[in-house]
Structure formats: C-alpha cells, structure tokens
Chain A
Amino acid sequence: MSNIGDYKERLAHSDWSEVHEELDYRPEGILNIGWHCSDRICRQGKGDKLALLWENVCGHEKRYTFNELRLASNTIGAHLRKLGIRDEDRVCLFMDRIPELYIGFLGILKIGAVAQPLFSAFGDESLFVRLDNAGTRAILTQRKHVGKVRKILDRLPQLEHIIIVDHDGKKALEDRESVFNLAEAETVDAFDIFPTRAESPSVLHYTSGTTGQPKGVQHVHYSLISQYLTTKWVLDLQENDIYWCTADPGWVTGTSYGIIGPWSLGITQCVLDAGFSAEAWYRFIDKHSISMWYSAPTAIRSLMKAGEEVVKRADLSSLRHLASVGEPLNAEAVIWSERVLGKPFLDTYWQTETGSIMITNLPGMPIKPGSMGKCFPGIQGAVLNAKTFEPITEPGIVGLIGFRPGWPAMMRGYWKNEKVYQEKFRNGWYLPGDRAKLDAEGYFWFVGRDDDVINTGGHLISPFEVESALLEYEAVAESAVVAKPDEVNMEVVKAYVLLKDGYLANQDTELEIMNFIRKKLSPLAMPQEIEFVGSLPKTRSGKIMRRILHAREWGEEIGDTSTLEDDE
C-alpha cells in the first residue's frame, strides 16, 4: 500500500497545514530543519536507527545512526558558533559527497545560519561569483578543493573562515584557514538550537538564467512542509526502506531529497561518493538492499547504454520504487526500466526555485511513459497562453507552465535581486520557464525551455556565463553558446567561436578552450563541441541571434530573420 493512497481523494482534501501536526509544528512556533531531521527523529525513539550509510569508491564505509547524526551536527554547529558565525550568515559547503557535507548541512541550519551548498566540481570563477554574491562568511571544504579557494581569496574580503575538514597536517595552513576534524572534535550533546521560525532563511542554492550572473535562490525553514510531504507521497518512503538519491547536494535535489526529505521522515539513506559506473551502481543497490532509488534521466540513459548483461550480475530484487528528476524522462527509459529493472522510473518535475516536487507521476497512478504526470495535491498548476497568461484548457496546445504561488517550499526571492524575482510572475502565476502541453486526462507533457538556458544532464547552464568566460580566453573575439541535442544528457553546451586575427582554428585551440572553460566554470559548462566561424549571426543593432544557431543545431525552422545584420 502506497503512502498517498487515492490521488483523487488527496486532491479533494489537500491542505499543507495537515502536515504540521505530523511534524510537531505549531504555526508561529519554532521550526528548524536541522532539528527536525535529527533531534526529532531521536525523540521518536529512533536514535539507534541507521540514518546514513556512506561508501566511497574503494568500498570504505561509514555509518551514522540518527543519534550520531544529532551529535555530529551539534558538534559542527557548535564549532561554527565558536568561530562567530551567527544566524543568517551564509556558510558554504564545498565538498565531495563525504559525510561532513550532509552532517554540516544540518549543523549550519541548527545555528540559524544559511547553508550554501556548491558543487565541488565548480571552477574557481564559478565559486567566486557565488561566494561574492552571497557575501559568504565561512566555507567548509576539503584539502583537495582548498586550492580553488586560495586562488580567489584576495577578491573575497568578507570570507573570514576557510574550514578544512580533512587536513592531514602535511601542508601549512594559509590565510584565514583552520582545521575541523569531526572524528577528533569533542562531541556536543546538549546544544541550544537557534529558534528559527517558518520564514527564517535556510538554504541558498544558485541557479543560472539566460542573462546575468547566477542567482541565489532563497529558501526558508517552512520548505520542510512540502519537502516532507512530497517525499512521503511521491518517493513513498516507508519505515523500513533503504533509500538512495544519486544527486549531489551541490544541487537542490541533493538537499531537498538527499537530506531533508528522507531524514525528516526518519529513513535510512545511502550515499555513494564515486563517479558513474553502471556496474558499481548496480552492485551498490545489491550490497545495501536499496528499495527506493531517486535518480536522473542522464544516469538512466547511461545505464541503458551500458547494456543488460551488467544488470544480470547484480541482485536488484530489493528495488520497490523508482523515480527520476532533472530533465524530462523519455518514454523509452520508462519502458526500459520496467522491462529490465522490473519497475518503471516515475518522472517528477520541479526546479531549484520551487524547492519541492510540483508535477509528478505518483504511485498507483496510471503511468503514461514520457509524460510529466499531474500536479502534486496542493499545487495549482496550468499551461498558460504565452501572451495573455491565462490557462489553456484545450488539450494539445503548447504554452508556458505556471503555478499559483503559495506552496511551502517556494523560493522567497533571489538574493539581492528583487527585480528578476518579480519578473518570474505574470498574471498571478509563477513561471518556471518551461513549455508544456496538457492531454485530455490532465497529464502534462514537457515541450522545452522558454529561454536560452541549457539543461545538460539536469543542470542549468547560462549561455551568457559561458560566453563571458570564453571572452576571457585570449584567442576568442566573439562567441555564441547554444544547446546541442545529446542522446544521454538531453542537451550539451556547444560554442560557436570567432577567433581573433592571428589565432589558428584547429583541434589544439579547441581543446585549450574546452579545458579553459572546464577549469574556470565547471565540466558541465565546458563546450562539448566548438565550431569556429567567420562571423556570427547578429541583429542590425549588433546583438547575437542565438536562436538561429539553436535552430540550426535542432534542425528547426529559423523563423523571422528580417532583423538579421547580413545573411551568411
């Protein structure tokens, strides 16, 4: 029996406040995600239950019960407090998927500070932009990543503390650096958790848009309400489940459903701190008897490519329920998983700004492979006319996805960017920037982005950010960055580059540019292909027309070119 029971019944009686009692929350009272994910579970008598089973690429394991999670997060929180970190200060987590990342997240929230997780593969410039914008006071990191911080430290006067969690003493510490070793720190049992309220800031995730620098998406502790309920009903986590979310907490899935969701329900979760390998992933499921698996279309398509022989080498009979997030899950992947893994991956749709699942396939609901599903109970969503922003009631007509604001996990703003935040709303609807259509039975079907943002493997990349970085490479005169179709990642970054006079357009230059962007921004932002051109299509006012290049990549009609500067 699934947690949600009958979808129609839930739709008819959906009320977020019904969750308050389950979470021991009284309106206007204290609400702290850090406490709810550890101390509260211990109070329920589950202190000895396994909370985190961590494994690295060598098979080395670490295990933490909920009581150990409580103590360790207290200990990290106390250390930060001792350094002078206070409520609402931003504290960055810049680490691989090691236990300190997950535990540190709770510790930061327990002192009322704001957790700012960043993907550890970010290059120094990506890191700088986000730390500078957030005015981050402290960063928790590993010695392998501290070099990136050192490179940008001179430009970050507000960053007071660089806390290295795995310092081995072999190299000297530098300016503003200190060491915190969780295993050696004195455990803090009694701890005054900061009395955050529903609207107290909690998490600051960064996301990319078409123009401008990445935006800090502000979430509050009240997000717990919908993260808890969606985890319970969509991911269907039940008391004895062993859960695995493959997302990195540098991205929102890794915090909403890789930390908050499962632990607020008192569920055991596994973490594999390793790169992708089909064999290793199946072995991980087999070894730990994982029953609920939340992954991403890119990973699922990579598993499909790896073939079915490797599946047979593992016992996957423990799998009870599968779900996917990141970019649209194609019908073939749903059908494949049902045939090969015995269960279909259920697609879920949401984004950094929504904080929790919005449109979804649910347990017990008839699955239409390739569809996004229906609105989660309590979410009012529609497909809107792109000009009037009124709901389209006719099936099959493409429009903009829109949601009525008011669900608990909705962002409360973009950090220091009220103007862009307000631009996300039209006619009383929040617009996530995606296009879709509805069918006659009310299922949503994804069509594409409504802007130039590139969704590669479920991560949004700003063409503006890549173009800006390209211009910093000495040989590049102009560039235009667009999405290119990709079988595994849905889209990848492609750059059209016009070189300065005197530079050669050859394979070595292409590789140098690729590596330059990979190190400066991230591997995700690295152009997977660079095409050297003699000119770029521009309007008469000189603006590069990305849509022409995009249409070329996707084999689409180019459309109106009347404003084009000159035809190539």
Chain B
Amino acid sequence: MEDLKTTILNYVVDEYLDDPDEELTFDSPLISAGIVDSFSMVSLKRFLENKYSISLPDDRATPEAFDTVNKIAALVTEFMNK
C-alpha cells in the first residue's frame, strides 16, 4: 500500500504540481486545492487505469474520491482486488 501511495504521490508531483517547492503528503487536498483540476483528473484516472490494469467507473472516479493520495490509493486498491 505504501508503495502504491508513493507511486501516485510521485506522479502527482511530477505531472501536476506547478510549485516545485510545495510539499505534498498523502493527505494533501488535490482537487479541492486546485492542484489537479476536473479536466486534468481525466489524465490522472487514465494513469491509474494503465498503471494498475483496472477500470475505474465514472461514478466512482469523483472529485471527492480523488481529493487525496490516500483516497485514490483506497479506490485503486478496491478495484485491484475485484
């Protein structure tokens, strides 16, 4: 689980973070803080689906479910186990 969270966090930092000095944690808000907007969320969802060979239904890939790395990791884990 920690590896998965770290992978997601690193991807978010590399791809979406404008300010290289900003420090993100597993609990940092992403969508509600505007780090990942609703349009960019589609590419983050696609990354997770490709990386973990899962399919996230739109009704589960909500702004709330994507708001922190912890929440994303929980969602990904749920679908990896299905």
Contact = CB atoms under 8 A, between A and B. Distances in A.
Contact of A57 (B34, B39, B46, B50): B34
A276 B31 contact: yes
Interface of A is mostly: loop
Interface stretch (A81-89, A224-232, A505-513, A539-547): A505-513
Contacts of B50: 507-508, 511
Interface residues of A, number: 35
B39 A274 contact: no
Interface stretch (A19-27, A177-185, A320-328, A521-529): A521-529
B19 A143 contact: yes
Contact of A526 (B40, B49, B67): B40
Nearest to A517: B43
Contact of A277 (B22, B31, B36): B31
Interface in A299-319: 302, 305-306
A507 to B, nearest CB: 5
B47 interface: yes
Contacts, number: 84
A265 B46 CA distance: 46
A507 B49 contact: yes
A280 interface: yes
A96 interface: yes
A96 to B, nearest CB: 7
B20 interface: yes
Interface in B17-68: 18-22, 29-40, 42-43, 46-47, 49-50, 62-64, 67
B53 to A, nearest CB: 10
Given A507-B50, A526-B42, A144 B34 contact: no
B62 to A, nearest CB: 8
A121 interface: yes
Nearest to B32: A277
A459 to B, nearest CB: 10
Contact of B31 (A275, A507, A518, A528): A275
Interface in A112-126: 121
Interface of B is mostly: loop
Nearest to A493: B39
Given A274-B32, A507-B50, A144 B19 contact: yes
A511 B47 contact: yes
A339 interface: no
Contacts of A511: 43, 46-47, 50
A514 interface: yes
**Which bucket holds chain B's interface residue count?**
20 to 34
Contacts of B30: 275
A123 B29 CA distance: 22
A324 B31 CA distance: 22
Given A507-B49, A508-B50, A275 B34 contact: yes
A274 B40 contact: no
Most chain A beta-carbon neighbours within 10 Å: one of B33, B43, B49, B64: B43
B2 to A, nearest CB: 24
A563 B23 CA distance: 56
A170 interface: yes
A147 interface: yes
Most chain B beta-carbon neighbours within 10 Å: one of A277, A524, A526: A277
B46 A96 contact: no
A343 interface: no
Contacts of A306: 62, 64
Nearest to A168: B21
A526 B43 contact: yes
Nearest to A528: B42
B7 to A, nearest CB: 15
B20 A274 contact: no
Contacts of A508: 50
Contacts of A526: 39-40, 42-43
A145 interface: yes
Contacts of A488: 38
Contacts of B21: 143-144, 170-171
Given A170-B21, A523-B37, A57 B42 contact: no
A515 interface: yes
Contacts of B67: 277
B33 A518 contact: no
Contacts of B39: 456-457, 492, 518, 523-524, 526, 528
A276 B32 CA distance: 5
Nearest to A459: B39
A305 B62 CA distance: 9
Interface in A447-505: 456-457, 488, 492
7 contacts: A96-B34, A277-B67, A278-B64, A302-B38, A305-B62, A518-B40, A523-B39
| A-B pairs, 8 with minimum CB distance | A144-B19, A275-B34, A277-B32, A523-B39, A57-B33, A523-B40, A144-B18, A514-B43
Given A276-B37, A508-B50, A518-B40, 14 more contacts: A57-B34, A143-B19, A144-B22, A275-B37, A275-B63, A276-B32, A277-B31, A278-B64, A456-B39, A507-B49, A507-B50, A514-B46, A515-B43, A518-B43
